[in-house]
Every structure is written in C-alpha cells, then in structure tokens.
Amino acid sequence: MSDDSDAALARRAIDGDDAAAAALVRRYQRSVFGVCLRMLGRREDAEDVAQEAFLRLFKHLHRWDASRPLRPWLMTITVNRCRTALSRRARKQPLLPGDLDPTDTSVPLTDAALAEELQRAVDGLRDDHRAAFVLFHYEEMSLQEVGEALERPDGTIKTWLHRARKQLSETLSRRGIQPDQRRSDSPRSLTREPIRA
C-alpha cells in the first residue's frame, strides 16, 4: 500500500515524480483555486495565480518542515501570490448603487445571484481584510491558522474580520440585499429592495 501522505508525496515530487506532484495539486486545488477566485474575483486570473502558487510551492518544497501541516503554508503562499497579482493589476471599479435595476425589486434571489452579489462586495474590501475573510469564511480556517497564514496576531485578525463583515453588510444593504420580511416560512430567502436615497 503506497503512502499518500503529504510528506510522502512531497518527497516523491522533489525527486521528480510527476504523478506525486499531480496528486498534491489535486488534493489542494479546490482550496487554492477557491481562495484565488475569492481574492481576485476573476476566474482567468484565479487559474493563473493558483498555478503560480503551486509552482512556488514545489520550488520551495525541500524547505518544508514535514512535521507541520502543509495547508497553512500553502495558504500563505497563495495569499501572497494573490496580493502580488492584485498589486499588479488595476483595481476593479467599485460597484455603484446605480448598477441595480430598479425594476428588479422584491424578487427572491437565486443562489448564483447571491454568490455574485457577495463576491462583488468582497471585491471592494481592503486586501488584508479580504484575505482574512476568505481564509476564515471560505477556507474555514481557524483564527490561529489565519493569523499564521497572514503573519499577524489573532487580535489583528479578529479586527480585520469585524471590519470586513461590517463593510460587507453595509455594501449588501446599499445593494438592496436584505432578508425577505414577507416570507417568514423561508428563513434563507433574500430579496432585493429598492434603494433608498
């Protein structure tokens, strides 16, 4: 029975085993690509940066301490690559309330529309706030793991999370996204309300 632990795959990848390298990529590509997509907001950018993150991982893999988990280190590399990509490209223009179609109100939103709305709000966050929010709420890392990945103390991460949530909530409210008060039987229902001046 072959050893498919991270350490064993890493050793084989360092020795030039393509299958082991591919297995490592497939094990973590959902996390890496997901973080890249949530951080960058563009699918094509996320694919490029995710590949760069894995290439950087393999480049420095011989320095990895196999007694420690691989995922936090990989997340650190991924977030750093995302920050570099964000600094390279011009930031996306923040969405304006005028983008909302005023006729499309009080309509229950689909999951895809909700995801798109939240992603557009996440795009407007500051880079470090966005990284903390994505790692905690998307990657479901603990506060300590997020702190290690972003090289910040837990208190700083809690502050960043608080500010990110507050800004996201305000952005969603400005976009008219709020719980549907008329449908008390469906607690997960959200609607778009007309924007008040």
Partner 1 sequence: MPNSPPEIEPLPESLRLTLPAWRADLDVPDLAPGVVRRLRSTPTVEPPPRNWAHVGWATLAAGLLIASSFVPNAFRQGVDQDAESAIVEAQPISAPSGTNLQPLDGSETTVVRVETPPEDTDENIREPRAFPADRLTLRENLLPKDLFSADRLAGAWAALPDPNRTWRDEVRDGVQPFRDGAQTVATLFAEALPPARRPY
Query: In whole angstroms, what is the distance from residue 74 CA to residue 36 CA?
Result: 12
Q: Measure CA 25 to chain center.
A: 18
> How far apart, in whole angstroms, are the C-alpha atoms of residue 74 and residue 79?
9
73 binds partner 1 (CB under 8 A): no
Minimum distance, C-beta of residue 56 to partner 1, in the bound complex (Å): 8
| Selected binder of partner 1 within 1, 3, 26, 103 (CB under 8 A) | 26
Rule CB under 8 A: say whether 60 interacts with partner 1.
Answer: yes
Give CA–CA dist 40/34, Å, rounded: 10
CA distance 32 to 168: 23
> Is residue 196 part of the contact set for partner 1 (CB under 8 A)?
no
Q: Least distance (Å) from partner 1 to the CB of residue 106?
A: 15
d(CA 127, CA 44) in angstroms, rounded, equals 19
SS3 at position 23: helix
Residue range at the interface with partner 1 (CB under 8 A); choices 4-12, 30-38, 69-77, 78-86: 30-38
The candidate with the shortest Cα–Cα distance to 176, out of 122, 92, 96, 93, is 96
Q: Residues 39, 50, 146, 149: which binds partner 1 (CB under 8 A)?
A: 50
The answer to whether residue 84 forms part of the interface with partner 1 (CB under 8 A) is no
CB 46 within 8 Å of CB 37: yes
Q: Which of residues 120-179 bind partner 1 (CB under 8 A)?
A: 122, 137-138, 140-143, 158, 161-162, 165-166, 168-169, 172-173, 177-179
> Where do we find the tokens 């990657």?
139
> Which residue in 21, 132, 135, 146 binds partner 1 (CB under 8 A)?
21
Bridge partner residues of 192 (DSSP): 177
Bridge partners of 177, per DSSP, are 192
Closer CB to partner 1, 61 or 70, in the complex? 61
Contact residues toward partner 1 (CB under 8 A) are 14, 16, 18, 21-23, 25-26, 29-30, 32-34, 37-38, 47, 50-51, 54-56, 58-62, 111-112, 114-119, 122, 137-138, 140-143, 158, 161-162, 165-166, 168-169, 172-173, 177-179, 187-190
